[in-house]
Amino acid sequence: MLGIIGAMEVEVEKLRAKMTETEMKTVAGMNFCKGKLEGKDVVIVRSGIGKVNAGICSQILVDLYQVDGIVNTGIAGSLRNEINIGDLVLSTVAVQHDVDAGGFGYPAGEIPQLGVKEFPADERLLALAEEACREANPDISTFKGRVASGDQFIDSKEKKNWIHDTFDAYCTEMEGAAVAQAAYLNKVPYLIVRAISDKADDSAHMDYGEFEAKAVEHSVNLMLALVKRI
């Protein structure tokens, strides 16, 4: 069974509408919808925004539904000039850009005593998603790279450049690395899928509302094509 996490209702409602044989359960204020999507067993849930919500949501998927994998869909801000609004980013690894234990000698992003700084995505899910992208969204570009997460909406060029330069990241958002850490600790495959809704700079507030719908559409198209292949 595949767990699919979105941060906001708009990200998951279109997928839920295509499900059959559904049953709902509310846990920790989150509505988990179990059923069939493209004939496959899935659980779709809106985690809410931020790393704490995403981490709790991932653990519930593991404990309550015994999922075989987790895909976190959503939108993100681009950190590279070549990645434009509407494009897709698939995670190769995920890192938390707002973790800072430098006072104890840890590099930026490394969680003390965990022994790792970043969490690799599942290679099989990544390959399937890349293939699905070519089929579902042939009119946009798809990139593979590092996703940087933090409990911040990035809307300044200075912060954007720092995240890019420090982590060599492709996009920034607010949940993915928490999903990745939960998956790592539970030894469950994961993948982050992000449609670019803004450029994570001084124009971010203006771009976000205008392009959110298109970004979500690309994510939904990809998820439907990906689930078929799993």
Residues catalogued as catalytic: 11, 198
Q: Which residues pair with 40 in a beta bridge?
A: 37
Residue with tokens 């653990």: 59
Instruction: Provide the 10 A C-beta neighbour count for residue 88.
Output: 26
Residue with tokens 């409990």: 151
3-state secondary structure of 201: coil
- Single-letter amino acid code for the residue at 192: I
Q: Which residues pair with 93 in a beta bridge?
A: 120, 146
CA gap 154, 32 in Å, rounded: 29
Q: Which residues pair with 24 in a beta bridge?
A: 33
Distances from the Cα of 126 to the Cα of 84, 119, 185, 208, angstroms: 20, 14, 19, 26
3-state secondary structure of 4: strand
Contact 192, 179 (CB under 8 A): yes
CA gap 2, 19 in Å, rounded: 13
Contact 110, 192 (CB under 8 A): no
CA gap 31, 129 in Å, rounded: 25
